[in-house]
Copies of this chain bind each other. A is one copy, B any other.
Amino acid sequence: MSERFSANYVLRTLDDADRAAGIIAGEQSSGTFVSTPGEDEALKARSAARVEMLEEIEDAGGPALPGSAGNGPIRSWRLRLSWPLENIGPSIPNLIATVAGNLGELKQVAGLKITDLDLPPSFFGTYPGPAFGIEGTRRLSGVTKGPLIGTIIKPSVGLTPAGTAELVEELCAGGIDFIKDDELQADGPRCPFEERLAAVMDVIDRHADRTGRKVMYAANITGEIDEMQRRHDLVANRGGTCVMVSLNCVGPAGVTALRRASHLPIHAHRNGWGILGRAPDNGWSYPAWATLWRLAGVDHMHVNGLTNKFWEPDDSVIRSARHCLSPLHPDHPYTVMPVFSSGQTVLQAAPTFAQLGSADLIFCAGGGVVAHPAGVAAGVTSLRQAWEAAEAGVPLAEAASRSALLQQAVEKFS
């Protein structure tokens, strides 16, 4: 096995960049802070990390991370490290230890962001990737083109199973394609998972009998391994078509275990991503981080949305969504369906389609559905009309002039 894997970083350092890169490569492979007897040249040749690239780029400014050492000034570098796969084998947990382990604690690191990962074929042989992806999601939801129009059950928490089912009744009657639990609602005593699932699926089945199309319900199964497995099986046995998991709350090994025992699309929620991805000089970029989960085998990945209620600028959102739709590897695309959410309304349909160039996505609007002045059905219809207009190249104002529901939505959310 002569495969290597590599990671790209933006490194900020106050130190000499060659020295800093060498220390990072040593820390993350065969070195330690003093020479040890066993680290001979032959061992280094087979096991050491290599600095493949170190190029200065413009520094974005801002302070160094605390405890940074060096004579300054702070400078920024594109750093590419590679490792022999023989060090770890194709293992996501051990990949993380290698590319994102102790290196962030080094004094020579005044800032470090992992920008992307490049993985050899063995990883794709070991990890299955998404079992459903775009095609499977369209098949199960019966939405053959355009985005799945979706919503999040709100209020996030506090509804009983019966209250949840009442809302789902309204949503199904209104023609929704996709419904997800909020990430705050899993299996709390106020709204136990099993009761909620039963109540919601009764409604979904009744509407499926009417329409011939089963609304996809991403039931939040986030929990311990055995709990997730039990809840997954409940969903599958009840005829549900999706499960949702909070990636950062469960972790890589839990998500991989779920995928291996799952018969349903896995809707991956990214809550907690702000801690990992918001700071410009610390943590992960979305493409590097999403690579792990696509490999593990989720089917839908949250990417936030344009003009969202969160901090993230639009270009970052679109870059994330493009990553989801671009092959991870030429022979192993592992593409997943991006999920747009957070403050989404009819106003974001056209710019999302224009900037992404695709409607292979789930478009989740919470308030954007239920807060439509004419009710939930009107909310769903207006969103679908906005997307049809966007895909047809019809300006929103023109489309709204032909639909009172769309016009109301435009006025409500402008």
Contacts and interface: CB of A to CB of B under 8 A. Distances in A.
A275 B100 contact: yes
A125 interface: no
Contacts of A227: 91
A68 interface: yes
21 contacts: A29-B156, A29-B158, A30-B156, A31-B156, A65-B278, A66-B278, A66-B279, A87-B157, A93-B250, A94-B246, A97-B271, A98-B184, A101-B183, A101-B249, A101-B272, A103-B274, A105-B311, A107-B311, A109-B311, A224-B253, A252-B254
A273 interface: yes
Interface in A271-326: 271-276, 278-280, 282-284, 304, 309-313
A276 B275 contact: yes
Contact of A107 (B256, B282, B310): B310
Interface stretch (A43-51, A209-217, A234-242, A391-399): A43-51
Contacts of A223: 91, 93-94, 253
A366 interface: yes
A403 interface: no
Given A183-B101, A254-B251, A273-B105, A313 B38 contact: no
Contact of A38 (B103, B154, B271, B310): B154
A32 B370 CA distance: 11
Given A101-B271, A186-B91, A228-B253, A367 B36 contact: yes
Interface residues of A, number: 105
A404 interface: no
Given A35-B367, A94-B188, A104-B278, 4 more contacts: A65-B279, A102-B274, A224-B253, A282-B282
A158 B93 contact: no
Nearest to A122: B189
Interface string A259-277: 0000000000001111110
A235 to B, nearest CB: 17
Contacts of A253: 223-225, 228, 249-251, 253-254, 257
A225 B253 CA distance: 6
B158 A310 contact: no
A63 interface: yes
Given A33-B309, A279-B65, A158 B47 contact: yes
A56 interface: no
A79 B343 CA distance: 25
* Across the A-B interface, the 10 shortest Cβ-Cβ residue pairs: A251-B251, A67-B311, A104-B274, A253-B254, A47-B158, A34-B367, A101-B271, A105-B274, A93-B249, A105-B310
A159 interface: yes
A233 interface: no
A37 interface: yes
Contacts of A156: 29-32
A142 to B, nearest CB: 27
Interface string A14-48: 00000000000000111111111111000110111
